[in-house]
Structure formats: C-alpha cells, structure tokens
Amino acid sequence: MKTENNYDVIRYILRKYASREKPIARKEIEDLATAMDCKVGRTAIRGFMEKELVLTYEREEECDELLRNKKADGRTVIFCKKSANSDRTIGYWMLEAITDSEWIYLMDSVLYSKILTKKEADNLAERITYLVGKDIKDLMGYRCRMYNQPYFIGDKDIDGNVGYIESRVLKQVHLIRKALKEKKRVKFNLCVYDYSNQQVRLVPYGKHGKVMPETPKKYKEDVHRICIPFEIIFSNGRYYMLGADLETVRNVDLKYKLYRVDLMEDVSIIKGESKEVEALIKEQTGIYEKLDLYQYRMENPYMFTGNVETVRLRVDSDQFTQIVDWFGENFKVLGYDANEEDYYDIEVRVNPNSMIFWALQYSGCVEMLDIEKNGNRNKNKESLRDKVRNSLKKALEKYEDKEYTDNL
C-alpha cells in the first residue's frame, strides 16, 4: 500500500495489525510502514497521536471503564496501554466506529437479505466496507463462501459494473416514507411470482388475476392500486406498508391491508393533499393514533391484517424458547404441569390468522386451547383450536393420498 499521507498509513497499520489483545509499539509501526514502502518516523507517530483522541490505561479494568464511558459519537479512538510499573508505553490499538464483529453482522444482514438482489447486496456490502475502513479483500474472502446463496430475482436488468446501485425495494420504501411525511397517496402495482418457460418472474396481479404479456389490454389497466399509507413495518427481513386501499375500503369489512414492498412495482406519489381523505380513512379503520410498531410485530408473527384476540396455548416445556423468540415478554404463563417439566399454558394477544400459521409450524410441540371460561363454548363459532385442527386434517389428507402412494 502506497500513500503520501503518513497519518493514513498509521491508521491503516493500527486497523490491520493492532488489537486490544495485541497492541503494537511505535517501533513495530515504523517497521510495518517500511515494509509497505512508506517512511513513518517517531515525529509522524507523535503528531498522529496528538491529532487523535488517545485514551491511556494500565490495567484491563481501567480499559473496560473507558469503553463503558465512551460516547457513541462515531469517532475513532486510539487506546494507549502503559506499563503498570513504569511510564513505558506497551503499545497502541484503535477502537473504530464499527468493530470487526459489527462489520460482519452488517455484512450478514446485507448479503443474506430477502429484499436485495445479488448485485445490489454486493454493491452495498462493498460501500459499507469502504465507509468503515475495512479491507475489501476481507469482504471478498468472506463473500466467496456464500456465492451460491439464492437471492431475490431481478439481477439481469442491473449493470453490475457501476459504482453505485440503488436497491429497487429500498427506493420504494423511501418513496412511501416520503408520502407518509407529506400525507400523500401512493400508486403502485402489486405483484406475485410466476413460473413459466423455466423462469421465475415477478408479474402484476390485478382484479382479473395475473397480468401476462398475452393478457387483454383492458385487464392490464386494472392492476393499479391507490392507497393511503399509515406505516412502514419491517418484519422477518421484509418491509410492509400498512395502508388503506381507497378503491376497496368501503366494500369490505377489513378496512386496511398490509402490502409487501418487495412485491410492489412502479411506486409513485400522487400529487395533491390528502389530509381529509386520510382522516376519513383512519376514522373508518380505527387507526387514530400512531402505532406501537414493536407491539404490532409481536401481535403479528406473520404479517396478516385483522383484529387482535387473546388466545391460549400449551407448549412443551423444552420448546418454551420459541415463545420468547416470537413474542418477547408479551405473554403470560397461566399454568404448568406439577413438575414443570412437561408443558406450560400460555396466554398471548395475537392476530388469530397469524396464530394459525404459527401453530401449524410448531404443531409437534404446541396445542391451541379453547379460551371460553367455565367450559362454555359457542358451538356455532369455529374456535381457533378448531381451525388449527381442520388445517391439520387437510394436511394429513394430502399425505394419505392413496393414488400418490400407489404411483411411488
């Protein structure tokens, strides 16, 4: 590495070779700079340390205290470890705004994203790596081990040679947030995945179903949706827009919907004020105040719209972790077996549509319980327990298909 700036060389050396476990002395900095064909002397190192924020400590406990008291201002800090028996400097190391572990976490979040294409993820990962001052070679070595990881489709239309690639989904999230701030409506096409000619593609979905190239023109015009956005929610790796469809809101009982932003296309903001329309829709939907997004996510383990109800379930004791993973602290333990070894009875407020999918996922260790008190049940109303049981029956019927087994 060649550079005219000695400070950049010193910063690079501290970033690359020094750590809390292995601080490096001034002489080692000089030797490493020489190996890089750069001449960095004592004066340059002293000037660098005077320019930067340097925190000095002798014992590891003192270092822990300095770390606890450091403000999260994003500033790079140089730590200088001194000898406990003399004023001799043992070595230096650098605390960056982003540590290696935090950088790897950001890389994992980007590279395993459900909403970025491969080219979008690679481009964003490279830019983050550059911003936090990491070596791009470290990224490439890490990246090559997940080369065949499946990504969101859409890469073929992206020029991978440009320096900056703007994510289609994140751009749409930005537009929706802008519409929220300006109290405007949004227009978009809602899409579904389709498989034809041995290819997976995203196609618009309108009132008459999928809109394909062969779809009559009059049906292609029915795909546009106009909504008042209420919130943007991030859940299970995807963005959702909570909003009211202005064309259908008065025709259905459910007056607001959730839309996956990665399944949207051609998102645009409609000009003109919509405050009066928004107030009317919020009154009709019952959304008067700003949502508690954390609570909304806990009540909707899967993003289904609908009312929230109190439900009860029994979970095997060795799977209690699943309750905490999905519902945080938003549940009550109502009871358990005598030894607290077999099961726990849980009460939680949740969207029943989401709960059905959740209970099916954990059907081997979870049992839905009827919540009616005193054993009184409305036999004309299908309980959540009934719905899960009927779904399991339908699933079992698929696996008991005699015609299928006979053809094996």
Reply yes or no on whether the pLDDT at 355 is more than 70.
yes
Q: Which of 291, 324, 353 is the last residue of a domain?
A: 291
CA distance 292 to 309: 17
pTM value is 0.77
CA distance 208 to 216: 10
Residue 301 located in a structural domain: no
Count of domains observed in the chain: 4
Secondary structure class of 34 (helix, strand, coil):
helix
pLDDT tens by residue, 159-192: 777 777 888 899 999 999 999 888 888 999 888 8
**Least confident among 39-48, 65-74, 283-292:** 283-292
**Least confident among 16-20, 68-72, 273-277, 313-317:** 273-277
Confidence at residue 408, expressed as pLDDT on a 0 to 100 scale: 58
Structure tokens belonging to residue 120 = 């979008």
My answer on whether 316 and 343 are in the same domain is yes
Residue 302 located in a structural domain: no
Residue 228 located in a structural domain: yes
For residues 233-255, give the mean pLDDT. Answer: 74
Residue 165 located in a structural domain: no
- Residue 338 belongs to domain with CATH number: 3.30.70
Range of the domain at 365: 309-398
My answer on whether 182 and 270 are in the same domain is yes
Task: Judge contact between 200 and 153, C-beta under 8 A.
Answer: yes
Buried b (16+ CB within 10 A) or exposed e, 187-210: ebbbbeeeeeeeeeebbbbbeeeb
Residue 164 located in a structural domain: no
Q: Which of 95, 122, 141 is the last residue of a domain?
A: 95
My answer on whether 127 and 189 are in the same domain is no
